[in-house]
Amino acid sequence: MEKLKIATAQFEHKSADKAYNLAVIERLAKEAAAQGAEVIAFHECSITGYTFARNLDKQQMLAIAESVPDGESTQRLIAIAAKYNITILAGLFEKDENDNLYKPYICVDKNGLIAKHRKLHPFISPYLTAGQEYTIFEIKGWKCGILICYDNNVIENVRATKLLGADIIFMPHVTMCTPSSRPGAGFVDPGLWYNRENDPTSLRLEFDGMKGRGWLMKWLPARAYDNAVYVVFSNPIGMDDDQLKNGCSMIIDPFGDILAECRTFKDDFVTTTITPEKLIQAGGHRYINARRPELYREIIGRKHESAQKVIWLQPNNY
């Protein structure tokens, strides 16, 4: 494998305004390509918007959803990738020929669709169908996986994706700054966002505290460290429907160290170059080789009653 220059982005999407969101995606992809990035990743449902979908009935969901890869948004994304010669990852709502609804995250380049991952643990809408498989694909010789938001909170999903060969896991989110039973969680006052130029400090304290980044740092670096993978985390900034999101899109290496992170309050991206030797040097590589599956194969695979059927009602900020 050769070195690979990756960008991860944050931006304030508009609910149900695919034309606007794709225009922002194009602008940031163009800028990233000009800086030498070979790949750029955007957040979950970055094409369609996200939280507004909690108020839609099935017909309204079907109206915003598209087929993949034949739908207009996927084709537009492929055209952008071809125009700037950059691989792009972004999310939307999908419908199939039987009007089943999914929440996929797709990877495209100038030649077309490379991969599509349907979220394994979807919520926000009761009409979404859960994906049933892991996703492994290649970008310029690097084996990659995708896990969307809550998929990453079920730690077996991350380990399974690694064991299937992934060296990079793209982790698109719309997360943080929502209520939860954990201490310190809660919404961030939108008024702080609208007053961010006059008082950036108050907003930054909320964004970086336990409502936001402080919670993320409890677990996200551990996913990279334990599994010896590069993690590409993407998250929106600004208002998502009536909720405020804190961005901080970042790339983490197999040592659990942050290589690059968005630290502005604007539509933005950061880039870094990843190298293959860390995959072997990191402690997680040794831990994986030291596994003894005979001890826990039956325990991990034990049947239980999944909470999947009710998870759409719950906040994604755990």
- Say how far residue 89 (Cα) sits from the centre of its chain: 9
Kindly report, residue by residue over 261-275, the tens digit of the pLDDT. 999 999 999 999 999
115: amino acid identity, one letter: A
Kindly report, residue by residue over 230-243, the tens digit of the pLDDT. 999 999 999 999 99
Ranges of the chain whose pLDDT falls below 50: 309-318
* Two tokens, residue 232: 């590409």
Q: Is the pTM of this model over 0.85?
A: yes
The pLDDT of residue 306 is 75
Kindly report, residue by residue over 114-157, the tens digit of the pLDDT. 999 999 999 899 999 999 999 999 999 999 999 999 999 999 99
The pLDDT of residue 307 is 67
Measured CA to CA, the distance from residue 97 to residue 305 in angstroms comes to 30
The pLDDT of residue 315 is 46
Task: Provide CATH code, domain 4-313.
Answer: 3.60.110.10
> In the beta sheet, which residues pair with residue 170?
146, 232
Measured CA to CA, the distance from residue 206 to residue 164 in angstroms comes to 38
The pLDDT of residue 313 is 44
Report how far apart, in Å, the C-alpha atoms of 178 and of each of 31, 192, 243, 304 are: 31, 15, 8, 28
The pLDDT of residue 311 is 47
The answer to whether residues 47 and 28 touch, using CB atoms and an 8 Å cutoff, is no
Report how far apart, in Å, the C-alpha atoms of 212 and of each of 87, 139, 198 are: 29, 31, 21
